[in-house]
Structure 1
Amino acid sequence: MPIFPSFAPPSSFRLGLRAITGKSGKSVISSTVRSISTRHNPSTSCFRYSSNGAHSPLRILANRYSYNISSRRSVGTLFRFRAITEYISLPDSYEDAEGLPFRKEDLNQREVQKIFGSHITAQNANKLLRILHGRRVAGTLEDPNLRVNTAHFNDSDQAKALKYLRANIPVDEIINAGLRAEDELKYLEEQQGKENVEQQPGGTSSQDSRSSKNVKKVNVPTGKLPKPPKSDSPYGESQFDRIRAKNIAKREAEEKRLAEEQRKREEEEALKNIGTLQTQQEKPKALSPRMQKWTERASSDWKEPPKMKAWERLLPSLAMTILVCAACAAYAAMYTPPARSNRLWPDIPPAAATCLALIGINLLCWAAWKLPPLWGILNRYMIVVAATPRPLQLIGATFSHHSLSHAAMNMFMLWFFGTRLHDDVGRGNFLAIYFASGTLGFMGSLANLVLLKGLDFTTLGASGAVYGIIAAFFWLHKHDEFKLFGYPPDPMSGPQGLYFIALILGLHVLPLISKKAHNLDVASHLLGLLGGVVSADLVKKHMDDKARIRAERLKNMGTLEKSVQVKDLEKTPPASDGR
């Protein structure tokens, strides 16, 4: 018994691949597989340096035919030279006047002319590039004391050189400058501590300290602060020491950046600002006098829930639940379908008419929540309030929704499964299952709120009744096979109705175990499912009894008719022969 019409879904992956690659799809796939399965696939860095300068990956791919060397040879020769780009790797012999090499070979005159023009020689251009590259690594680009080494270069050439270096040699100038500033601060603190020691009794004279300080300043390499020994080992600094120092520097820089972002975020929150525009948060709009009047009428003036025992809150609603279930059973047993001429919509099938009426009532209640004058009545009878429960709330909340998405989902499921269940059991049994499941579901939800969650919660919606309809439908077809979209294909058999009930239960039990139910009223759904299963079982037994009684009546009526026909034949005189 398929729920949805069967169809064969196309392969979206194949259609998309053909649309993109055209007829060469197979070749693309095969080449991709070959590239992935290649054993020797050397990894390339983001930038590479050669005699023609440093190029980005896109430029390498665009000009790959300009290099008259094979790919294997380029891997072996072009990546041998690595320019120093990190402050932590700055050599102790570095001086600003000499700079740092930015590539393996200097630029030739033709390359210099493309960058600077013809007014500067290749020797001077390479010197300027080395000095500026060294400052980028040392974090001294903005140091005014070092401009004497580039004073004979005009500002235009310096700007062009810096643009070329930034475009071809990636250096994180901000981090390097931050590390340089930290080292300067430590150096100044150490010098201040030494001065304080020298000024103490027993120390050297002020003249000696000044002379020693001047000697130290002379001995400091230009643009480079003296580093303390990195390792106490008599064998000197190892590669592991350098790697550890580099990682520590990166971690400290990242922690400093995160702390600065956190500080700015806290300042913005303290000033009640939004984003980078520093716009002040708008205050909530004041309600109009009419809206304020309706809000006050619909709201309670209680500062806390009334003090009541749990049974005092649950007992009236429990009595209403029992009364509703009994009324539903009586209605289902006594209901007689009206004649077609007496129906409100004679041209619409009974199942569609019943479900459309329920959907219309639910949508009207959703629209009523948009009207402030009705809030007072709706708060009293159309929503289950754990603090102040009323028995009629169990029935009214079954037709009430706050959000349109919640109402639309419930109404879709009501139409999809309700029309099918209505065709199986009839209007009387269908309405009995709907109301009994919805009332029982909200009774379970109210007990859960009062006994476990608390009195600050409310609940509403037709989910309990809808889940009762779904459970009743699958319970009546618990041994029937279903196919979704034609799957599984014949001759395979589809899942039975019991599997769908188990699936729904599993989807509701898992949130309870993982405590991720959020605002989902799981208790209402589970009690609605239970009400649907029990109601469907009772309805099936009642329908079987009625069918058996009808069959026996027809059988007796047939025997009576036979006996009446025999008696009529005995009383009838024999026909005359015409004599």
Structure 2
Amino acid sequence: MIPIRDTAPCYSRPLATWGLIVVCVIIFVWLQFLPFEVSNPLIARFGMVPLRYSDPSWAEHVGLPFDGYLSFLTSLFLHGNWFHLIINMWFLWIFGDNIEDRMGHLSFLAFYLLCGLIATALQWYFDPRLEIPVVGASGPIAGVLAAYFFLYPLERVVLWVPPIVVHVPAIAFLGLWVIIQLYEATTSILFEGGVAKMAWWAHLGGFIAGFLLYRLFLKKPPDGIKMEDSSSFKI
């Protein structure tokens, strides 16, 4: 089940969305050209390693001195492999433009980064002993999905479900996405010894942050005009 596009109209160029995609792609491609002995330490340094902040003595021992939590931000622009990068950028491409349209370029960028920071912090809280870097834009993108969920619940998301293409309401597609994240996150806690393949709590943290914060970043409508969520006038 792969989203192809959405049906929500966009009335401005999503410059911030495009810029985020370009930056993530450039960083990933650049790291691919570096020798492993160079790229791996960079990912460890700029990816968010939870144990680095939970146990400063361990971090100093392995050569990861305290960085003022900078990696909570820089980790949002790193990705583990091509599939990880493509999926994240594809979701940002489909859903980011409409949210940026409703917020404006700078407000959208601030919203995106804030959701990412909260998402990474929640992942650290629930998995403080993890020794490997947490990387990826999934957290802030989850915040974007939350904003889309509430602003465009009845817009259609066009999905490729081999061998057919179907149109489903955004509230159904994104609701299923949330259920999957919640299931995976809780399963990773309930079953000790299980190794989570993804930072599920970062996904949920980003979505929760997006839900709580998106209204604070929406553009104010012109005087005399009341802007409403698309759910109130679109079917």
TM-score by length of 1: 0.30
Match of 1:397 in 2: 75
Match of 2:214 in 1: 536
Q: Which aligned runs of 4 or more in structure 1 are off by greater than 3 angstroms?
A: 372-378, 483-488, 497-501, 512-517
User: In the alignment, is the contact (CA less than 8 A) between 1:464 and 1:527 conserved in 2?
Assistant: yes
- Other structure's SS at 1:474 match: helix
1:204-234 deviation digits (Å, cap 9, x = unpaired): xxxxxxxxxxxxxxxxxxxxxxxxxxxxxxx
Give 1:534 shift: 1.6
Give 1:461 shift: 0.6
Q: Which amino acid aligns with 2:13?
A: P
484 and 471 in structure 1: CA distance in 2 versus 1, 3 angstrom threshold: same
Give 1:416 shift: 1.1
Counterpart-to-counterpart distance in 1, 2:98 and 2:108: 10
- Aligned runs of 1:321-470 on 2, under 5 Å? 350-351=13-14, 353-370=15-32, 371-372=34-35, 373=38, 375-380=40-45, 382-389=46-53, 390=67, 391-450=69-128, 454-470=129-145
506 and 365 in structure 1: CA distance in 2 versus 1, 3 angstrom threshold: same
1:30-85 deviation digits (Å, cap 9, x = unpaired): xxxxxxxxxxxxxxxxxxxxxxxxxxxxxxxxxxxxxxxxxxxxxxxxxxxxxxxx
Q: Which amino acid aligns with 1:357?
A: G
- Aligned runs of 1:44-83 on 2, under 5 Å? none
User: In the alignment, is the contact (CA less than 8 A) between 1:433 and 1:531 conserved in 2?
Assistant: no
User: In the alignment, is the contact (CA less than 8 A) between 1:437 and 1:465 conserved in 2?
Assistant: yes
Match of 1:510 in 2: 183
- Aligned runs of 1:58-457 on 2, under 5 Å? 350-351=13-14, 353-370=15-32, 371-372=34-35, 373=38, 375-380=40-45, 382-389=46-53, 390=67, 391-450=69-128, 454-457=129-132
- Other structure's SS at 1:432 match: helix
Counterpart-to-counterpart distance in 1, 2:25 and 2:157: 32
Aligned-residue CA RMSD in angstroms? 2.8
What is the percent sequence identity of the aligned residues?
23
User: In the alignment, is the contact (CA less than 8 A) between 2:116 and 2:140 conserved in 1?
Assistant: yes
Counterpart-to-counterpart distance in 1, 2:157 and 2:186: 30
Give 1:421 shift: 1.7
538 and 520 in structure 1: CA distance in 2 versus 1, 3 angstrom threshold: same
Q: Which amino acid aligns with 2:47?
A: I
Match of 1:475 in 2: 150
449 and 518 in structure 1: CA distance in 2 versus 1, 3 angstrom threshold: closer
User: In the alignment, is the contact (CA less than 8 A) between 2:44 and 2:133 conserved in 1?
Assistant: no
Q: Note the residue ranges of structure 2 that are not aligned, 5 or more in a row.
A: 54-66, 160-164, 189-193, 226-235
TM-score by length of 2: 0.70
374 and 509 in structure 1: CA distance in 2 versus 1, 3 angstrom threshold: closer
Give 1:509 shift: 2.0
482 and 376 in structure 1: CA distance in 2 versus 1, 3 angstrom threshold: closer
User: In the alignment, is the contact (CA less than 8 A) between 2:116 and 2:206 conserved in 1?
Assistant: yes
Matched, 1:526 2:204: yes
Counterpart-to-counterpart distance in 2, 1:357 and 1:520: 25
1:228-274 deviation digits (Å, cap 9, x = unpaired): xxxxxxxxxxxxxxxxxxxxxxxxxxxxxxxxxxxxxxxxxxxxxxx
Q: Which amino acid aligns with 1:379?
A: A
Give 1:518 shift: 2.8
Counterpart-to-counterpart distance in 1, 2:186 and 2:122: 18
User: In the alignment, is the contact (CA less than 8 A) between 1:385 and 1:459 conserved in 2?
Assistant: yes
User: In the alignment, is the contact (CA less than 8 A) between 1:508 and 1:526 conserved in 2?
Assistant: yes
User: In the alignment, is the contact (CA less than 8 A) between 2:108 and 2:217 conserved in 1?
Assistant: no
Q: Which amino acid aligns with 2:113?
A: F
1:435-481 deviation digits (Å, cap 9, x = unpaired): 0111111111111121xxx2433311111111111111121123x34
Q: Note the residue ranges of structure 1 that are not aligned, 5 or more in a row.
A: 6-348, 489-493, 553-579
Q: Which amino acid aligns with 2:23?
A: I
443 and 512 in structure 1: CA distance in 2 versus 1, 3 angstrom threshold: closer
430 and 376 in structure 1: CA distance in 2 versus 1, 3 angstrom threshold: same
Q: Which amino acid aligns with 2:51?
A: A
Q: Which amino acid aligns with 2:200?
A: V
377 and 517 in structure 1: CA distance in 2 versus 1, 3 angstrom threshold: closer
427 and 506 in structure 1: CA distance in 2 versus 1, 3 angstrom threshold: same
483 and 393 in structure 1: CA distance in 2 versus 1, 3 angstrom threshold: closer
Q: How many residues align?
A: 191
Counterpart-to-counterpart distance in 1, 2:43 and 2:186: 34
Counterpart-to-counterpart distance in 2, 1:424 and 1:410: 21
Structure with higher Rg: it is 1
Q: Which amino acid aligns with 2:80?
A: H
Match of 1:547 in 2: 221
